Amino acid sequence: MRREGSPWQGLGSVLLKELADHFDSARMMLLALLMVLAAGVPLYSAIEQLRTTTSEDPFLLLKLFNPGGQTLSVVAILGFVIPVVAIGLGFDAVNGEHNRRTLSRILAQPIYRDALLAGKFLAGIIVLAINLMCLWLLVVGFGVLLLGVPPSGDEFIRSLVFLIISIAYAGAWLGMAMLFSVLFRSPATAALLALGVWLFMTLLWPMISPFIAQLVSPPDIRYQLLGVLDPQTAAWQQGLSRVSPYLLFEEAARSILTPTTPSLGPLLDQVRALRGEVVGAALPLRESLLIAWPQVVGLIAGAIVLFVATYVVFQRQEVRA
């Protein structure tokens, strides 16, 4: 049976109202502050480090985001903090309306549920995008000011691509937070579970997945004797690790931001070494994009799948309190 009328009716109104709510809220201020502070520390140390090596590196701007080596990078911190901000924005999106008893009143207006959900999701994405863009501008601005080297066009585009990747990453976590806000009537439960998933994906999974990979496909003794990774085990390891959006984000960011060492895990490095490529040479932008493409698509697809799941659950949910 077809329903009549546009599912987008009222979307603009919902979007504007949600945006206004976000910008007015103390929660938003706190989350933005958290993001800036968290990114400030690694940025500062990166700048300190780069000052000594300014003349040697052709990709200074990118080094600001990801200095490489053991130093804590802006990328790693963002990989950690973006989910918290996204969860903070989304965990009470729908159950909050339920608990304030506004849901049935709003849905009694001439709009479909689609508009309410999409409006909330879009508002969240826009807020996250604005935050990330400000952060990006801060990093680039500080880089130019403190290092005194203008970025090249290539670097600029790469850093913009990184911005887009981080927005996609934020979208995936926002989708999950909103799914939980539909599934659980209590915002506290939704927030705790979302944070639980976040901890699991960012801290535990990177530690567990190699073990699982070794269990599923034990490495061949011949490879072990040669001191290299069994390609099959490595493939499993990589495949499993990509379940976590955190690792997807890291991989994508790494391949975009470090053109000189786009190390993609032991397997690909071995393959590329065998093909006679020089691991460590700077790749052109196009190649870096191609390498990061699957990860970016994965993140966007994750965001869409989570949103669709949220949509389906929400459509079937009873509105009465």
Q: Which of 53, 54, 109, 186 binds another protein (CB under 8 A)?
A: 109
For residue 82 the two structure tokens come to 């973006």
> What are the residues whose beta carbons fall under 8 Å from the beta carbon of 230, sequence distance 6 or more?
217, 219, 220, 223, 224
Cβ(43)–Cβ(64) below 8 Å: yes
Using CB under 8 A, pick the residue from 33, 54, 101, 290 that binds another protein. Answer: 101
Beta carbon nearer to another protein, 113 or 272:
113
**Nearer to another protein among residue 1 and residue 207 (C-beta):** 1
Residue 228 · residue 186 · CB < 8 Å: no
- The sign one gets for the Cα dihedral 173, 262, 220, 276 is positive
Q: Are 205 and 244 in contact (CB under 8 A)?
A: yes
Q: How far is the CB of 25 from another protein (least distance, A)?
A: 8
Could you say which of 54, 104, 186, 224 contacts another protein (CB under 8 A)?
104
Q: Which stretch binds another protein (CB under 8 A): 100-108, 154-162, 187-195, 252-260?
A: 100-108
106 touches another protein (CB under 8 A): yes
Candidates 99-107, 188-196, 216-224, 226-234: pick the segment binding another protein (CB under 8 A): 99-107
- Determine, following the binding rule CB under 8 A, whether residue 186 of this chain makes contact with another protein: no
Task: Based on the shown chain and the rule CB under 8 A, indicate whether residue 275 belongs to the binding site for another protein.
Answer: no
AA letter at 79: G
Size of the site for another protein (CB under 8 A): 29
Helical H segments across 143-184, by residue range:
153-183
Q: 81-97 burial, b for 16+ CB within 10 Å, e for fewer?
A: bbbbbbbbbbbbbbbeb
Site for another protein, residues 22 to 51, rule: CB under 8 A: 24
Binding site for another protein (CB under 8 A): 1-5, 9-10, 13-14, 16-17, 21, 24, 100-102, 104-112, 318-321
